[in-house]
Amino acid sequence: MRKLLRTIFLVDLIQGLWVTFRNQHPKNIYTEQYPAQRPRIAERFRGAPRLNINPETGETLCIACDLCALACPENLIVVSSERNKQTRRKELTTFTYDTSRCMFCGLCEDACPVDALELTQDFELASYTREGAIWDRQMLEEGPKPTWYRY
Amino acid sequence: MPEATFLDANELILNMGPQHPSTHGVLRVILKLDGEKILGTECVIGYLHRGVEKIGENRTYAMFAPYVDRMDYVAAVSNGLGYCLAVEKLLNVEAPPRAQAVRVILTELNRIASHLLWLGTHALDIGAITPLFYVMREREEILNIFEAYCGARLTTHAFRIGGLQYEVYEGMEKQVKAFCKMFLPRVDEYEELLTENRIWKDRLVGVGVLTAEQCKQYGVTGPMLRAAGVKWDIRKAQPYSGYEKYDFEIPTRTNGDTYDRYIVRIQEMRQSVRMIEQAVDDIPEGPIMAKVGKVIKPPVGEAYVSIEAPKGELGYFIVSDGSTQPYRVRVRPPSFVNLQALDTMARGGLVADIVAIIGTIDIVLGEIDR
Ligand code: SF4
Ligand code: SF4
């Protein structure tokens, strides 16, 4: 009898609807208004790469040891260097990083002995051309420039 | 499927997929129908084949680790754990206790995330749209923990061979505990929405029955096996990564239908929370990395390690020829094996049920096609 009444009055369905109703409250809004409101990215996030420079002298921290290129499973980093005749040290000439093939695994970052290569919190990597996804030394040193939208 | 006898007057062949939203990816199912009744099914897979096993033969052991995340991308952490354990077995090292505890926390969180996504999509397929929004909300919290811990949300690459790369971040324990506390009432909420709902029950009870005997014949594992009444969980049967230290139960049911599989997975989420709470309360101090060389070069030999992934038994079989690259990597993906049972479950049912049955297997095509 009780079961019949419950069936007639749709108790099971109303129970579910009540849950939906409870979640209607404006404080339960979880949507992020993305371009207007930037998401909070964790510190360890592995996003767009950057080649760090010494902020005082502007010189690159990279010692052109090629370890990042060797660690990369996708073989997408190309480091070239020249030996300086006077100091007999290797100096970085070009550095290319193909973001279109990168899977942001972080192995290159872990391999770098001087923390020159770093994956940053920026995640906006779109570009209009395929070549635009290949980043050269200058782009890497300047670091990513997040887009700010204004309304 | 015998093609010749196939097309008589009453039978119809219908292609479902590969671009069908409720095949959960690019699965093509050829249905042989008699009106609304399913006479047989055949799966066509391989649309997402990337040759991951072959890639493994061309990468060093450390380099291959990020690729395994891309098989079952919904449970990337479990994949990473299985692979790391297999290579550790080859190397004959064990991760230190601190690393093991963190591994347990993250894999159990990942189990919850995977089950949540399953619940949302399964309910969506059947027509209950609301749970999807709620499960995404909770899954987001888990992904935030992953992001803060290892820097990625989906393809995490959280573990390294021999232990962990990243130390626990500041406030992780608090965030995980807060999640556990918030999550249990939310599971009750999902149950309130679905468990007693008559439409949900009408669509699920008695649909896609797979008995324990059939499960064993097909090699079906995971929640599907437990819903048929077999108390088999690798975390209990062959504990790995310190699972023997935690107190939890294996939820089982007896009917082996779609509804029971739903109940089993819901219960498993609760058990996972229980385990996470125990693990996070005492993460032992100590190193996070065992002594493995910079270049990983296991001795000649082979190792098979299987773990309890959210979808079933996930196995890695690695053959080493003593070089820095594996000679052969073979993956035993749970979804691939479980998908075999689709025909048995769907035969004799109605067309509308096939969607529920595909959903209940909990497949990820990235893992099936590899
Ligand atoms: S993040 Fe991974 S794939 Fe990308 S460059 Fe570094 S090592 Fe290569
Ligand atoms: S590993 Fe670091 S220092 Fe060496 S080449 Fe790469 S970025 Fe430069």
DSSP line for B227-261? HTT----HHHHS--TTGGGS-------SS-SHHHH
Can you give the residue range of the structural domain that contains B116? 12-369
Report chain B residues whose CB lies below 8 A from the CB of A15: 192, 196
- Interchain contact A94–B (C-beta under 8 A): no
- The answer to whether the CB of A61 is under 6 A from ligand 2 is no
Rg over alpha carbons for chain A, rounded to the nearest Å, is 26
Q: How many domains does chain B have?
A: 1
Q: Residue A23 domain-assigned? A: no
Best residue among A51, A76, A98 to mutate for probing ligand 1's pocket (most ligand atoms within 8 Å of CB) is A76
ipTM for the complex?
0.80
| A31 found inside a domain | no
B149 touches chain A (CB under 8 A): yes
In a domain, B357, yes or no: yes
Measured CA to CA, the distance from residue A96 to residue A135 in angstroms comes to 6
Identify whether B4 is part of a domain. Answer: no
Better-predicted residue by pLDDT, A36 or B85: B85
Residue A134 lies in a domain: yes
Q: How far is CA A60 from CA A19, A67, A143, A145, B349, in A?
A: 57, 16, 13, 19, 67
B226 touches chain A (CB under 8 A): no
Average pLDDT over residues A62-68: 84
In a domain, A87, yes or no: yes
pTM: 0.86
A66-84, pLDDT tens digit by residue? 888 888 888 888 888 888 7
Q: Does residue B2 fall inside a structural domain? A: no
Kindly give the number of the ligand 2 atom that is closest to the alpha carbon of A108: 1
Which residues sit with their C-beta closer than 6 Å to ligand 1? A 71-74, 76-77, 102-108
Residue B48 sits in a domain whose CATH number is 1.10.645.10
* Stretch A18-38: mean pLDDT: 79
Q: How far apart are the first and last CA of chain B?
A: 24
**CA–centroid distance, residue A80 to ligand 2 (Å):** 11
Which pLDDT value is given to residue B1? 45
Q: Is residue A22 part of a domain?
A: no
CATH number of the domain where residue A122 is located: 3.30.70.3270
The per-residue pLDDT for B115 is: 92
Q: How much is the pLDDT for B4?
A: 44
Query: Does B237 map to a domain?
Result: yes
What backbone torsions phi and psi does residue B257 show, to the nearest 5 degrees?
-100, 180
Mean pLDDT value of segment A90-97? 82
Residue showing tokens 């919850």: B112
What average pLDDT does the structure give for chain A?
Answer: 81
Ligand located closest to A114 CA: 2
As a whole number, mean pLDDT of residues A39-43 equals 83
- The sign one gets for the Cα dihedral B252, B257, B258, B260 is negative
Lowest-pLDDT range of A9-23, A48-62, B191-205, B310-324 = A9-23
Say what the pLDDT of residue A150 is: 67
Does residue B264 fall inside a structural domain?
Answer: yes
Residue A121 falls within a domain, yes or no? Answer: yes
In a domain, A107, yes or no: yes
Instruction: Give the number of domains in chain A.
Output: 1
Q: What's the average model confidence in pLDDT over A127-138?
A: 83
Q: Is residue B6 part of a domain?
A: no
Give domain status of residue B47, yes or no.
Answer: yes
Q: Which domain holds residue A78?
A: 49-142
Ligand 1, atom 6, residue with closest C-alpha = A108
A151 pLDDT more than 70: no
Residues of chain B with pLDDT under 50: 1-5
Nearest-CA distance A111 → chain B (Å): 10
The arithmetic mean of pLDDT across residues A51-64, rounded, is 81
